[in-house]
Amino acid sequence: MFFIYDDTGRIMQMVGQSQPGYADLLRAAGTNFVEVGQDMTDTYVDLSSGTPALKRRPELPGEFDMTTLKPFEQATLPNVPACSIVVEEGPLGPGQTPHPGGDLVIGFVVPGSYRVAIEPFPYRRRVFTLTVTEPSAQ
């Protein structure tokens, strides 16, 4: 099996070709590849050493500073690389927004439970649950 990757190390294609000489064909075509036997969603090609190496995608470190919020309150997850933030479930339905990188600050107005997923490459996908409580009567 071969993983074909782009110039950032992101795996773009998996080829289950076992024909002798297939690696030579890829090499001759100038294709970036590694020969492997792993899952392409859990691995990436690390280019930091100058020699392409297959590595397991690490988990993004950190947690939100709070997971239970009041309406309009915000939670912060520090040092998140650029990615898309996907609200998979919530009172207002699914949605997606880009994150430019840095601290991820997020909040909601409508009370309920929100499942938020992020996948800043090369980190693996992480899912968080944030809950917005009903405002208290005063």
Residues 6+ apart with CB under 8 A from 60: 80, 118, 120, 123, 124, 126
Residues 6+ apart with CB under 8 A from 41: none
pLDDT for the residue 32:
92
pLDDT of residue 53 exceeding 90, the answer is no
pLDDT of residue 26 exceeding 80, the answer is yes
Fold held by 68-132: Immunoglobulin-like (2.60.40)
Residues 6+ apart with CB under 8 A from 93: none
What's the CA gap between 86 and 74, in Å, rounded?
A: 16
Q: Which two tokens stand for residue 128?
A: 């968080």
Q: Where are the domains of the chain?
A: 2-56, 68-132
Mean pLDDT of 13-24: 80
Instruction: Please name every residue paired with 80 in a beta bridge, in sequence order, or none if there are none.
Output: 102
pLDDT of residue 13 exceeding 60, the answer is yes
pLDDT of residue 22 exceeding 70, the answer is yes
Distances in Å between the Cα of 115 and the Cα atoms of 70, 71, 100, 108, 136 are 16, 16, 20, 12, 23
What's the CA gap between 12 and 79, in Å, rounded?
A: 26
Q: What is the mean pLDDT of the chain?
A: 89
Residue 38's pLDDT band (boundaries 50, 70, 90)?
Answer: low
